[in-house]
Structure 1
Amino acid sequence: MAQAVQALFPGVKLGIGPAIENGFYYDFDMPEQLTPEDLPKIEKKMKEIIMANQKFERTEMSKEEALKLMEERGEKYKIELLHEIEDEKVSFYKSGAFIDLCRGPHIDHTGHIKAFKLLSIAGAYWHGIETNPMMQRIYGVAFENKADLASHLNNFEEAKKRDHRKLGKELDLFSIHEEAGTGFVYYHPKGAMVKNIIESFLKEENLKRGYEFVSIPHIAKIDLWNTSGHTNYYKENMYFMEIDQQDYVVKPMNCPGHILIYKRKLNSYRDLPVRYFELGTVYRYEKSGVLHGLLRVRGFTQDDAHIFCRIDQLEKEILDVLEFVNYIMKVFGFEYEVNLSTRPE
């Protein structure tokens, strides 16, 4: 795709073009503003390249040689990427007159590509940082045969009809306002009602399982976050403010607040387990390039709980939590997988 875009639009600068879970994309810096009408033209050029059976030739060179090559070609983004690579040698792949920095591996030649489709164009800041140049990103998919591609495209069109951003607007459920800040959701009366019904259900289920409700402020002095370690490991995702010449943080998590409530008094082992629950709204800085409807935001409410228990109660508490999570997921019809995260010694 990058080869086709460079051939059709002189002066384009290449960003990155990785494979992703649902296909691939490539970021371009170019003077022309791409439109959906450009995608068929790019696809046509890609088919010409495929029909030519161009070989993919891998070559390795030192970083110094690579930097010189990219400087000659004026590929400023590739130069930046090269400076970020620690290896002394890097690899490029060449097909026809086109060459690109890539770890690989690749197929032998372009003729192996049997079925593909370019799907959409989007804007994306270089490296996802708002102060960097805005790139033009082209998304696409590729399959081993046309039948699989057709099936995927049909599913893709069906999914677009059920896109929550589209439904949210059509059903008048929620909105996000640029003038108020991207990533912050405003629930309309219908949306707020749905949200309230879900929250009421969660409260009832938590009460059934012995959880007690707590509620904590939305901001706290930075000292608390220094103690919890958040400022050491999570600072780039936190919002800061100054009040009465003291630094405060808008809470990115509820954990420290719940712990403060627990430690307010001496607790007997006979009182354990203690289970706290809160529908706590938290605020986390996310780069604008990754914000996505309700799925990736900067302010959201989470059903958060913390359990304080004895060692001999630990196994039962873990099993009960897993059962609780599984129950909630089934109620809402979610399919999910579990990954176990361990703390290194």
Structure 2
Amino acid sequence: MKILHIDEKDYRIPNGLNDFQLHMYLHLIKWKWEHITVQPGYYKDLPYDAILPDAYVQQGIMPHIYEPVRKHLNTHRNVNPFRIHPHFYHVVSSQAANINLFLPALNLPHVNVIMGSIKDDFRSLAVDHLHNGYCLEYWGGNFNKSCVETGLLGDKSKSAGTDADIAIAYRNHQNELCLWLIEHKLTEEEFTSCGGYKSKGRTDKQKHDCSLKFRQILENKSACYYHDKCGYKYWDITEQNKDVFLNHSERVECPFQGGMNQLWRNLLLALALEQDNSNEFVHVTFSVVKHPLNTYYLDKSISDFQKLTGHNPRFSVFTSEELIKSAEKIQDSQTSAWAKWYREMYML
């Protein structure tokens, strides 16, 4: 923790923030002071101004969630008791920002217009699927009771696993039922990298060799620690869909050690869901939505992944500002109020 003294005020913030993160932290701390409280929260016994005081956590009060959708969030959590992230009660929480971006839009009368401007094949929200057409922290088994506990990728547990920040069920222009998986990034500098590559359990680096190429790992999937020791199905699903990873030969070693790992796993989840006979979804796609000013390592990983997959249409990227601009075109009071609130809170 460090203290920045700006305009006669002290800001208690984490060390090591990049320029964008610092700018967003300072902005959101000011927002918290103005709209919630000037009292800090604590992490490892140190005060941080971006964290809400513990009283909010203990009582489950979420003043950083857009007020009109708190009831929708509570109802959703009753039917889908997803895990609240450890840092949810930060005003810089990406999980909270994801809720503030999508739950208002998905509960507006003009949801189809807003979402259709982002996703060309989006005709109508499928409110008869998932929970009113959406599911937070979706891993495939939230509402599908036939799904095994470890999920289609075999990596699901109480504390970990691959999931989408939000899944949206919709019907396309051919009236086919589709699923849209979305990963949201606010201030994160990079996507989640490979835990197997960094694992302390990966002691035999000759056997679990991350320097092997994509093709070599497919020929010997036990070279991947996650496949061999954890039983995760990443490479099994990759093998079944290897044509998706069109340009793998351009990579000199495993492409999924760094930030592309999370993109890979989420796309694998989309592929597995589409090919799972217990699901009704005809098409499943995956998108990343990010803050337009967050251009650090995220953009490079996205670009590398697009090259790897040959710009496959199953994967796409958009920004939170694009969604807000789409909403602003509606020009009704309910939509405008949310768009204005979101812009002010998240510095758009």
Q: Which structure is higher in strand share? A: 1
Q: TM-score range by the shorter chain?
A: under 0.3
Q: Which has the higher contact order (CA 8 A, sep 6+)?
A: 2
TM-score when scaled to structure 2?
0.26
> How high is the TM-score relative to the length of structure 1?
0.26
